[in-house]
Amino acid sequence: MSTIFSKILAGEIPCHRVYEDEQVLAFLDVAPLAPGHLLVIPKEAKARLDELSDESAAAIGRVLPRLCRAVVAETGAEGCNVLQNNGTIAHQAVMHVHFHVIPKFADGRGLDLVWNAAADPDAASRAAALRHRLGVESASD
């Protein structure tokens, strides 16, 4: 499956590259929510995070903290959001795994987030079912 990010990885489309290693590329988002908004992508061409190999996930995990530090230090932001969308319903537009690193400024620039928290009355059984699905321990607390 080819996406605009495959073309960036192949050098067929230009981007402002910030970081690259054998498994990961980071570059500036063409439509930034704030200056310094980065995209961090695996070289492995998978659409969603749940499809990604452990090796690629680990490679991204290794470099994300360093990229966050660089973005915050360089832009003078107060903090940053790391956002990763999976599926059209979840606002994914480019079907190649990517992490957004979005600096958040005191004046409000950055990710404008509405967090509609709602308590789950079935939290205990849900956690147990998830543990069971993950095979990490017995289904009981």
Q: Which residues bind ligand DGP (CB under 6 A)?
A: 4, 13, 15, 27-31, 39, 85, 91-94
Residue from 56, 41, 49 nearest 100 by CA: 41
What is the closest distance, in whole angstroms, from the C-beta atom of residue 44 to ligand DGP in the complex? 17
Query: Which CB, 91 or 133, lies closer to ligand DGP?
Result: 91
**Amino acid letter, residue 46:** K
What is the closest distance, in whole angstroms, from the C-beta atom of residue 41 to ligand DGP in the complex? 9
Query: Which CB, 84 or 128, lies closer to ligand DGP?
Result: 84
Give the span between the Cα atoms of 105 and 126, in whole angstroms. 36
Chain position whose Cβ is nearest to ligand DGP: 30
Give the span between the Cα atoms of 97 and 43, in whole angstroms. 9
Do residues 2 and 15 touch, judged by C-beta distance below 8 A?
A: no
Catalytic residues: 98
Query: Which CB, 10 or 31, lies closer to ligand DGP?
Result: 31
Residue from 70, 5, 73, 76 nearest 42 by CA: 5
Query: Which CB, 13 or 106, lies closer to ligand DGP?
Result: 13
What is the closest distance, in whole angstroms, from the C-beta atom of residue 1 to ligand DGP in the complex? 14
What is the closest distance, in whole angstroms, from the C-beta atom of residue 10 to ligand DGP in the complex? 12
Our CA dihedral for 18, 40, 69, 105, rounded to 10 degrees, sits at: 100
Do residues 43 and 87 touch, judged by C-beta distance below 8 A?
A: no
